[in-house]
Structure 1
Amino acid sequence: MELRHLRYFVTIAEEQNFRRAATRLHVSQSPLSRQMKDLEEEMGVELFAPEGRGIKLTAAGKVFAERARSILASVDTAVDEAKGIAEGRLGTVVIGFETGTTFMGAFLSLVAAFRKRTPRVGLQLVPMSSVEQWAALRQGTIDFGYGAYAPRDGALAHLEMARDRLGLLLSPEHRLARLKKIWLRDLESERVLLQPRQLYPGLHADIITAARAQGVALHVTAEVLDLEALLALVVIGDAVTFLSEKFWEPASQTSLLWRPVEDLHIHLREFVTWRAEDVDAPVVRALIESARDVRPLLQGAAGRTRSSKATHRKRRSKR
């Protein structure tokens, strides 16, 4: 028994006439009748009974028709799902993301664009550092990574999504908030909080190196894993920290100020990463295309935001 026999049988049951069924199936009537006879012999039951110029289903034929329809519907669903996965319309994609990037617009814009492009694909987000993402990509446990560092591995491809200047986040009541300009030497006696070195190894090294180049030894009093705890300590004026300029907007809602450090020329960058060999995989390709779609929009928005902030600072200084 083959699937085509079930399809033939269901069509005959619906038409209740071999000639009309043959026309609908685009086959000759005689071979169709012969295949149904073979089916009855294989099953050992009569499925049809003559009625006028057509046929009707026997009691066994009615039960078999219900089961055949169910089987064919399941097969059609399975085929559609298989095609959907092959075409990147179905399935589940796992994205590793670096904590902290969710506060910024690039990652959220990427996820939203991907969701719009592939609404039926399941999405699983897993927090992990860039280094952990690279290992997970090599092992095949995630499909895509989003973090602050680009991999130096020919097996992994990447695309820069955004970059933004690093500056100082501090309480409005902090003594440094009264300065017109802040330099690295102004931080020498300050308590500085940073996020863990193991999560942002390059950033730690860059900050310390930049300060030493100016003859400044920063007093890093703690590395705080939880970003909310870090911000809470900054809000009460207990310490200062370094964050991206894009953090201005969310930080402003927590009574914090972002200020540039005149001689600190460090930019935070954000990258999407994937296995180079997966570039043509449908789901990964959809993610890459989504990233390329939102990237120019983000860069344009960044320019407008910087202009708006500059205008805001000028207006505030006039007041």
Structure 2
Amino acid sequence: MEIRQLRYFLAVAAERSFSAAARRIHIAQPALTRQIRALEESLGVQLLERQARGVTLTPAGEAFVQDAQKVLNSLDEAKSNALRTEKGMRGELRLGVTVMLLWVNELSVLLKEFRRRYPNVMLKLNTMLSGPQVVALQEGVIDLGILIFPPESADFGRLNIYSDHLVLVAPDDSPMVKNPPRFLADIKDYDFVWFDRENSPNYYDRLIGYFNQHGFVPNIVETGNDSVTMLSVVNSGVGCTIVPSSTISEPPEGLTVLELEDLKKLSLDLQLVWRKDAENPTLNHMITVAKELLSRQFVVAN
């Protein structure tokens, strides 16, 4: 049984005539007749009653009409799905992002607009720190990273979607709240909560290097895996920490956010990062949407 035979049969069933069906599907009537007979032989049943003024469907033919149409509909849908997937209209896009950055408005706008345009694409958000994101990109585990200070590599494409800066966070009862520091050097004698370098090597090195340039060598007394953990440690009364301002727009009870002149000067660019050699139409659509939003100033351009 061939797909074309199903289409031929449905044409004959609809027209109730071999000659009319032959004209409709642009095939010679003898050839059409041979194909229908071949179909009946392959099925082992008679589908049509040949009569002088046309044809009628046998009971088997009546039942086969419904099933044949379902088969063709399924094939058409499969073809459509394949084409849509090839064009990035469906499928999935795997993203890496740190938990706290999910609340950045510019990122929320981007994801919302992408979902609006491509409702059949599943966005799989994987919460991970910057270091693991870079590894996941290199190994093809994720398609797109969303991070700050990605490594300088010609293998990656980048697009800035938001610019942030760092802020100092301390417990409400800390002496620095009563006498706010202005510069990084002013907090060198305070205990400091930070994160392990292995979690985000490039981010760690950039910030520690910047701190040192401004007279601040942090006295790290405790570490946390991410901003949420570090803030929790500080809230328990251990030292102070520094985090992106977007991660603490509304300070938890018991914590105070302080602005330092040095930190305001260091721009933290939240970037979309992807492998340049990636062949993924869905990824290309996401980048296109981001660029369009940038041009419309829904997100901050670099």
**Pairwise mapping of residues 258-269 of structure 1 onto structure 2 (< 5 A)?**
258-264=257-263, 265-269=265-269
- Output the aligned Cα RMSD: 2.7
Q: Give the superposition deviation at 1:148.
A: 1.5
- Report % sequence identity: 28
* 1:96-139 Cα deviation digits (max 9, x unpaired): 22343223223333322221221101121122333333333333
Structure 1 residues 287 and 2, CA gap change in structure 2 (3 angstroms): same
Task: Give the corresponding residue for 1:185.
Answer: 185
Displacement of 1:23 after TM fit?
4.1
5 Å-filtered alignment, 1:301-312, equals none
> Is 40-49 or 158-167 further displaced after alignment?
40-49
Q: Aligned with 2:55: secondary structure?
A: strand
Aligned amino acid, residue 165 of structure 2: R
Please give the alpha-carbon distance, in whole angstroms, between the structure 1 residues aligned to 2:9 and 2:176.
84
Q: Which residue of 2 aligns with 1:147?
A: 147
Within the alignment, does 1:91 sit opposite 2:91 as a pair? Answer: yes
**Contact 2:11–2:21 (CA under 8 A) maintained in structure 1:** yes
Q: Deviations over 1:178-217 (max 9, x none)?
A: 3365222321222211233222334433443344344443
In structure 2, stretches of 5+ residues that fail to align are none
Matches within 5 A, 1:1-319: 1-50=1-50, 53-179=53-179, 182-249=182-249, 251-252=250-251, 254=253, 256-264=255-263, 265-278=265-278, 281-295=280-294, 296-299=297-300
**Paired AA for residue 261 in structure 1:** L
- Offset of residue 30 of structure 1: 4.2
Taking a change above 3 Å as real, the CA distance of residues 211 and 129 of structure 1, as seen in their structure-2 partners, is closer
Offset at 1:40? Answer: 2.9
Residues 205-243 of structure 1 deviation map (CA, whole Å, 9 limit, x = unaligned): 344334434444322111112543422333355322111
Give 1:244's aligned amino acid: P
Q: For 2:149, what is the secondary structure of its paired residue? A: coil
TM-score (norm 2): 0.86
Higher mean C-alpha deviation, range 129-138 or range 217-226:
129-138
Indicate conservation of the 8 Å contact 2:169/2:255, yes or no.
Answer: yes
AA at the equivalent of 1:218:
P
Q: Deviations over 1:283-314 (max 9, x none)?
A: 011111122133332228x9xxxxxxxxxxxx
Q: Measure, in 1, the Cα distance between the counterparts of 2:34 and 2:185.
A: 95
2:82 alignment partner, SS class = helix
Report which stretch shifted further, 3-12 or 135-144.
Answer: 135-144
Deviation of residue 37 (structure 1)? 2.9
What is the CA–CA distance in structure 1 between the aligned matches of 2:194 and 2:180, rounded to whole Å? 24
DSSP-derived class of the 1:269 partner: strand
When residues 203 and 156 of structure 1 are mapped into structure 2, their CA distance, relative to the original with a 3 A threshold, is: closer
> CA offset at residue 3 of structure 1?
1.0
Structure 1, unaligned runs of 5 or more: 303-319
Tell me the TM-score normalised to structure 1 length: 0.82
CA distance in 2, matches of 1:269, 1:7: 57
Contact kept, 8 Å, 2:146 with 2:272, in 1: the verdict is: yes
Secondary structure of the 2:159 match is strand
Whichever residue aligns with residue 262 of structure 2, its letter is D
Alignment CA distance shift 1:102-1:204 (3 Å)? same
User: What is the CA–CA distance in structure 1 between the aligned matches of 2:27 and 2:110, rounded to whole Å?
Assistant: 51
Counterpart secondary structure, 2:70: helix
Quote how far apart the aligned CAs of 1:271 are.
1.5
Q: State the distance in 1 between where 2:154 and 2:37 align.
A: 62
C-alpha distance 297-146 of structure 1, shift in aligned 2 (>3 A)? same
For 1:199 and 1:294, the matched residues in 2 are separated by 31
The one-letter code of the counterpart of 2:259 is P
Paired residue type of 1:91: G
Does the residue aligned with 1:93 lie in a helix, a strand or coil?
strand
